[in-house]
Amino acid sequence: MATQAAIFDDRFIPVGGATSIPVEEILPWAVFGLLLATIFLYFVSTEQGATSLFAGRYVHEFVHDGRHLLGFPCH
Amino acid sequence: MTKDLLWRGMLAGILAALLATLFARSFAEPLVDRAIAFEESSHEAHAMGAHAEVNEPEIVSRDTQKGEGLLTAMLLYGAAVGGIFSLVFAYGYGRFALIGPRTLALLLAALAFVAVILVPAIKYPPNPPAVGRHETVAVRTAAYFAMIAISLIAMMAASRLRAMMIPRLGAFNALLAGAAAFLLVVSIVPLGLPSIDEVPAAFPADLLWDFRVTAFGTQLVLWAALGIGFGAMAERVLQTRH
C-alpha cells in the first residue's frame, strides 16, 4: 500500500473540534504581527533609500547587501 | 492558537533566513563584490582625477556588509515574512481546503513565492550594485511595491474565485480557473506601471544574470525552508491542542 499513498499524506487535524480558527481569535494577533513585520520590512527595504526617518546613510549601508539580494531598489 | 502559530512563524522565518544567508554568502556575495568593483572602476573613469566621488568615505566596511549586515537584513526579513505567513496560514487552515498542516504550509509558501517574489521580479528584477540611478530610487521603490500589491491582490482574488467555482467546476478545474485569472491579471495590469531600463551599457550581462539567479535562489531557499519548517511546527501545535 505504501507505493499507492498520495504525494501529500499528512492528515487534516481539527482545531479544538472545529475545522478552522475563528477570525475573532486571529484578528488581534494579525494586527500585532503585521505591525511588527511592517517595521522590520521598512528598515530592510526602504529606510535611507526612498525615504528616511533617520539622517545619514548608516542603515542603508548596513543592510545594503540584503536589500540588493532581496530585490528591493537600493541606489 | 494564533499566538502560538505567530511565534512559530517568526521562528521558522528566522531559521529559514539563516539558511538563506548561508546560500547568499556562498553564491551571491562574490557577485556583489564584482558588481562593486565595476561600479568603482566606472566611477573612476568618469571622475578622471576629480576624486570627490571616488574617495567617498566608507561608512560600513565590505566585511560588515557581507557579514553582520547581510545577516541582520535577512533575519529581520525572515522574521517579518514568517510572521505574516503564519497569519495567512492561521486563516487558511481548514478554510482553503481540508488538508494537513504540512501540505498547506508548503502550498502557501509556493503561492507566496510566486505572488511576492517571482511575479514582481519579472517586472522589476533584483539588481546588483552599479545598476540603477540614484535619482530614481523613490520611483523605483514605489513601482516595485505597487507591483507586489497588484500581485498579492490578484492572488487573493484568484483564491476567492477558486473557492466560488468549486461547486460548479470541481476542485481541480476551479484551481485552474483561479490560476488562469491570476496570470491574466498580472500579465495585463502591470503594463500600466513604468518600465525601468537603467542597466549601464558596459555592465557585464553574465554578471547581471548570475546575480539575479542567485537572488532568486536566496528567496527560494528562504521560502522552501519556511514552508517546510513552519509546516512541521504547526503540525505539532495542532496535535497538542487537539
Mean pLDDT of all residues belonging to chain B: 93
| Whether B131 contacts chain A with CB within 8 A | no
- Band (pLDDT 50/70/90 cuts) for residue B220 is very high
**Average pLDDT for B122-128:** 96
pLDDT at B55 over 70: no
Q: Residue count of chain A, please give it.
A: 75
**Statement: residue B119 has pLDDT above 70:** yes
Cell output for A29: 494577533
> A31 — contact with chain B (CB < 8 Å)?
no
Q: In whole angstroms, what separates CA B49 from the centre of its chain?
A: 40
Least confident of B47-51, B121-125, B173-177, B188-192: B47-51
Where is pLDDT greater, at B41 or B187? B187
Percent of chain B with pLDDT over 90: 88
The beta-carbon neighbor of B137 closest among A12, A38, A50 is A50
**Residue B56's pLDDT is what?**
61
Average pLDDT rounded to a whole number, residues B125-130: 94
Phi, psi (deg, nearest 5) at residue B97: -170, 160
Residue B13 near chain A (CB below 8 Å): no
CA distance B115 to chain A (A): 14
State the Cα–Cα distance between residues B189 and B201, nearest whole angstrom.
Answer: 29
Judging contacts by C-beta atoms under 8 Å, the chain B residues touching residue A40 are 76-77, 79-80
Q: What is the pLDDT, as a whole number, of residue B52? A: 42
| Cβ separation B241–A65 shorter than 8 A | no
Q: At what angle do helices B70-92 and A23-45 cross, to 10 degrees?
A: 160
Per-residue pLDDT, B53: 46
- Average pLDDT (B8-14) is 98
State whether residue B33 sits within 8 Å of chain A by CB. Answer: no
Nearest CA-CA partner of B211 in B70, B27, B22: B27
Closest residue of chain A to B196, computed from CA coordinates: A73
Query: What distance in Å separates the CA atoms of residue B80 and residue A54, rounded to the nearest whole number?
Result: 21
Residues of A with Cβ-Cβ distance to B120 under 8 angstroms? 71
User: Is residue A75's pLDDT more than 80?
Assistant: no
- Per-residue confidence at A4, pLDDT binned at 50, 70, 90? low
Task: Inform me whether the pLDDT recorded for B145 exceeds 50.
Answer: yes
Flag the least confident range among A31-35, B60-64, B71-75, B111-115: B60-64
- According to DSSP, the residues that pair with A18 across neighbouring strands are A15
Confidence bin at B51 (pLDDT 50/70/90): very low
Q: What is the pLDDT of residue A8?
A: 79
Residues 6 or more apart from B193 whose CB is under 8 A from it?
A: B123, B143, B146, B147, B150
List phi, psi (to 5°) of B187: -85, -35
Structural element, H or E, at residue A2: none
Instruction: Return the pLDDT at B241.
Output: 76
Q: Are B152 and B136 in contact (CB under 8 A)?
A: no
Residue type at B59 in one-letter notation: I
Q: In the prediction, which pLDDT does B50 show? A: 46
Query: What is the H or E stretch that residue A47 is in?
Result: none
Q: Please state, rounded to an integer, the average pLDDT across all residues of chain A.
A: 90
A50 touches chain B (CB under 8 A): yes
**Nearby residues of B112 by Cβ (< 8 Å), 6 or more positions away:** B81, B85, B88, B223
User: Which of the four pLDDT bands, split at 50, 70 and 90, describes residue B47?
Assistant: low
pLDDT at B48: 55
Contacts of A11 in chain B (CB under 8 A): 100
Residues of B with CB below 8 A from A37's CB? 79-81, 83-84
